Amino acid sequence: MKRRVLLSIIYTLVLYLSAALSQVKVAPLGRTIYEGIFTGNGLLGTMTYVSDQNSLRIDIGRTDVYDHRPHSADKLFDKARMSLGHFKLDFGTAILGAEGDIYLQEAFADAKVETDRGSVSVRTTTLSEDNIIVVEVFGKNFKGQHTLLWVPDSAISPRMKFSYTQKPKHYVPNPRGSQGQRGDVKYFDQPLTAGGGYTTAYRRWTSGDMDTYVITIGYSQKGQDYTAKAIDYLGNFDRRKIASALKVHRQWWADYYKASTLRLPDANYQRFYDMQLYKLASATRADKPAIDLQGPWTSPTPWPAYWHNLNIQLTYSPVFKANQLGIAESLIQMVDRNRENLRLNVPEPYRHNSIALGRSSAPDLWSPVALQKNVSLDGVPDEKKELGNLLWLLHSYYLYYRATMSSEVYDRLFPLLKSAVSYHLHLLEKDHAGKYYISVKTYSPEYSKGFAYNTNYDLSILRWGLKALLDLDNERGGRDSLHGMWKDVLTHLIAYPQDENGFMIATNVPYAESHRHYSHLMMIYPFYDVNWDQHENRSLIERSVAHWQSKKQWLQGYSFSGAASMYAMMGKGDAALASLDTLLNRYVKPNTLYAESGPVIETPLAAMASIQELCMQHWNGVLRIFPAVPTTWRELSFINFLADGGNLVSANRRNGKTERVQIKSQYGGTVVLKVDLQDPIVKLDRKGQYTIQENGFIRLNLSKGTTALIYERK
């Protein structure tokens, strides 16, 4: 027994020793945020890049600063994310060149600037446990003088700056902000019409050849004391606290990276994956706001909000395998906080038992859906006709439950899922053949002719929701009064509309024009309702994906991450990698950010999930190890990927062959494993049973805390 445990420990240590993170270089430092270097602590963030020939620009963001005017049809203006502004660091002389580095392990960014009067290094750190940004200017080799100036952005919705957006007719501007100073603290106070406001406060210390600036952002939706609180908070943060705060900061990030690792044989993909891991914890934490389309890095954008028909789901898609449940908690808490608004989002006749969510919202998740039987939707915008958004969002909540196996999480999830499904049930009817269908037209996201009956978007989401409800209810004996109805609807729900090219958009609506969203293919991914284990559906899957990808005009970045995940499900690692190559080479920016008219965060994170799926997948009740490894990836390993049921999985490949797999059961239960070992040996360090089956399947029944080690017989 001791030998088995020792094998497991040695195996894990060997993998850990190869998992150090390195710095990521952005060279040259450019003049947009897509060529900048960034930091964040889940609330505050910085983005450093070149401003003009004499100066750097350091954008400052705070993720919860939203306008908060009463509910209105113009929520993207009246309840929009606010862009704060930037610091202009002027060197008073010409910049000859600039490079940037992001030090992932210690979570700081360093800009190296060459001028005709010498070199300057500018380091930015957003402290992990304090709402403080530290900017250090090292001028030992600089013969000039620098100045730092705060440049506030206009306190309006960033969407106002885009000509193609429909602006409100009667928009009341926010009051003008004002500069001020108290002691050595300078500040800019920006009040809001709806109440409260936000303040950027900063102070400077000089020591020898180094100037240190400490910055904080105060924000409140009520009262006027946010400025005083920001100044007091900054005033209490003295030089001694910086040293201790930096120590805590480094330890926080070291602990974060220990949760899981992935070692790839391709340096570009390794850099990309590590940057996404860094980006996630820069953008949110367990006690911080959920990630919207920008994270802490604000820039002119028509998307100053949360988008719920793809973006937020993709943003959080990699956090579970990465074993970063603290990141996921920010999303879970946003849903829990706003249950009442989710109820108010549905038409009044259904509010007694239903919840829903429209296309976009502020952090309060207020976004009405207008779908109702026997009610005309003439003149109603498409964003209010999307039925399945909330139910898809709850897929992430369900994955969170399956990762934690927490009864407390179950008790919060089950009524949410039940209420979201209930809204769908209100809109169903039975046809003459006894099949349930959606009796009102709904909108399939992104498709110009997508307002139709029985969209595959809504059918696939509903099928997943019914299956999840039945599984959850069965965990507690199948006692819910609606259990029979859910089962009946699932059994008799109308088939997915399809034609000779594969899955259609909806009944009588073929996929006939280029479409970046895979809303019509979600039964393939992410729900795996139609999957590669079903041999009778393989041709249908291949035709559907090929037809979608064949119309290239409007494909965008996440079109290729989605395709990569579908190819990975088919076991086609080379095709998945080719799709990811297109994404990284054509769409991802030098610092791994992404843009569609303005910065949007979801697509690189979706690609992170696709990379994970080359290494590990769970669907159709089977945990699959290295299911779609590209042929060029000969050496590959991961540690502590989190799988369904809360199982921690580690595995490695060498010379193109899987060597070992380790599964630690945190909560006990059954794991059906598929692994490409020809003659596997299974070792258990505690109580459990296993059965080696045909075709690479192994069935493990593990007690809580048991670790299984699986390797090839020599």
Q: Looking at residue 427, which CATH number applies to its domain? A: 1.50.10.10
DSSP structural state of residue 496: P
580 or 72, which is more confident: 580
Q: Looking at residue 29, which CATH number applies to its domain? A: 2.70.98.50
274 and 240 housed in the same domain:
no
User: pLDDT at position 108, please?
Assistant: 98
Helix axes 389-404, 325-337, angle to 10 degrees: 130
Q: Around Cβ 426, how many Cβ atoms within 10 Å?
A: 17
C-alpha torsion sign, points 298, 300, 304, 308: negative
6 has pLDDT over 80: no
> How many whole angstroms separate alpha carbon 50 and alpha carbon 637?
38
The pTM assigned to this predicted structure is: 0.96
Q: Does residue 5 form part of some domain?
A: no
Residues contacting 71, CB < 8 A, separation 6+:
79, 366
Residue type, 337: R
Give the residue-averaged pLDDT of 282-295. 97
Q: Does residue 435 form part of some domain?
A: yes
- Which of the four pLDDT bands, split at 50, 70 and 90, describes residue 659? very high
Q: Does residue 9 form part of some domain?
A: no
Q: Which residue is listed with tokens 């945190």?
A: 666
Q: Could you give the angle at the alpha carbon of 313 between the alpha carbons of 319 and 105, nearest 5°?
A: 30
Give the residue-averaged pLDDT of 365-389. 97
The per-residue DSSP string of 333-382 comes to HHHHHTHHHHHHTS-GGGTTT-----SEE-TT--------TT---TT--G
Residue 474 phi/psi, 5-degree rounding, is -65, -30
326-330, 341-345, 405-409, 593-597 — which is least confidently predicted? 593-597
15 has pLDDT over 60: no
User: pLDDT at position 17, please?
Assistant: 40
Residues contacting 538, CB < 8 A, separation 6+:
532, 570
Residue-number span of the structural domain to which 543 is assigned:
262-620
538 and 670 housed in the same domain:
no
640 and 588 housed in the same domain:
no
Q: Which residue is listed with tokens 């009778």?
A: 536
Q: Could you give the angle at the alpha carbon of 157 between the alpha carbons of 153 and 159, nearest 5°?
A: 110
554 and 649 housed in the same domain:
no
Q: Looking at residue 666, which CATH number applies to its domain? A: 2.60.40.1180
Give the residue-averaged pLDDT of 505-529. 98
Give the residue-averaged pLDDT of 454-483. 97
Q: Does residue 642 form part of some domain?
A: yes
> Given 590, 620, 650, which residue is the final one in a domain?
620
Let me know: does 591 contact 37? Beta carbons within 8 Å: yes
> How many whole angstroms separate alpha carbon 311 and alpha carbon 517?
10
7 has pLDDT over 60: no
Cα distances (Å, whole numbers) of residue 72 to 169, 347, 361, 389, 432? 12, 16, 11, 20, 42
User: pLDDT at position 14, please?
Assistant: 45
513 has pLDDT over 60: yes
Helix residue ranges per DSSP H, 106-259: 226-235, 239-258
276 has pLDDT over 60: yes
Of 414, 421, 290, 428, the C-alpha closest to 346 is 421
> How many whole angstroms separate alpha carbon 15 and alpha carbon 20?
10
531 and 578 housed in the same domain:
yes
Look up residue 626 and give its two tokens.
Answer: 């290295």
Please give the tally of structural domains in the chain.
3
Q: Does residue 97 form part of some domain?
A: yes
185 and 270 housed in the same domain:
no
418 and 518 housed in the same domain:
yes
Instruction: Tell me the longest C-alpha to C-alpha distance in the chain.
Output: 85
Q: Which residue is listed with tokens 């559906």?
A: 537
320 and 198 housed in the same domain:
no
Helix axes 389-404, 407-426, angle to 10 degrees: 160
User: pLDDT at position 20, please?
Assistant: 60
- E strand spans, 183-312: 185-191, 197-207, 210-220, 261-263, 306-307
> Given 217, 236, 258, which residue is the final one in a domain?
258
Q: Which residue is listed with tokens 């079109």?
A: 559
Across the chain, what does the average pLDDT equal? 95
206 and 340 housed in the same domain:
no
170 or 629, which is more confident: 629
DSSP structural state of residue 671: E
Query: Judging by DSSP bridges, how do beta strands 436-438 and 502-503 pair with one another?
Result: unpaired
553 and 652 housed in the same domain:
no
Residues contacting 686, CB < 8 A, separation 6+:
703, 705, 706, 707
Q: Does residue 645 form part of some domain?
A: yes
254 and 292 housed in the same domain:
no
Let me know: does 411 contact 381? Beta carbons within 8 Å: no
What's the N-to-C CA distance of the chain in angstroms? 20
Per-residue b or e along 591-620, where b marks 16 or more CB atoms closer than 10 Å to that residue's CB: bbbbbbebbbbbbbbbbbbbbbbbbbbbbe
> How many whole angstroms separate alpha carbon 255 and alpha carbon 249?
10
Residues contacting 39, CB < 8 A, separation 6+:
45, 46, 102, 107, 108, 109, 124, 125, 126, 133, 282
Q: Does residue 3 form part of some domain?
A: no
202 has pLDDT over 90: yes
Q: Which residue is listed with tokens 């989002």?
A: 345
Q: Does residue 121 form part of some domain?
A: yes
Residue type, 241: K
Strand-pair partners of 191: 197
C-alpha torsion sign, points 382, 388, 391, 392: negative
> How many whole angstroms separate alpha carbon 603 and alpha carbon 555?
13
> Given 233, 258, 283, which residue is the final one in a domain?
258
Each residue's pLDDT tens digit, 135-165:
999 999 999 999 999 999 999 999 998 888 8
Helix axes 267-283, 602-615, angle to 10 degrees: 120
511 and 646 housed in the same domain:
no
Helix residue ranges per DSSP H, 570-704: 573-586, 602-615
Strand-pair partners of 671: 700
- Per 3-state DSSP, the chain is made up of helix, strand and coil in percentages (nearest 5) of 35, 25, 40
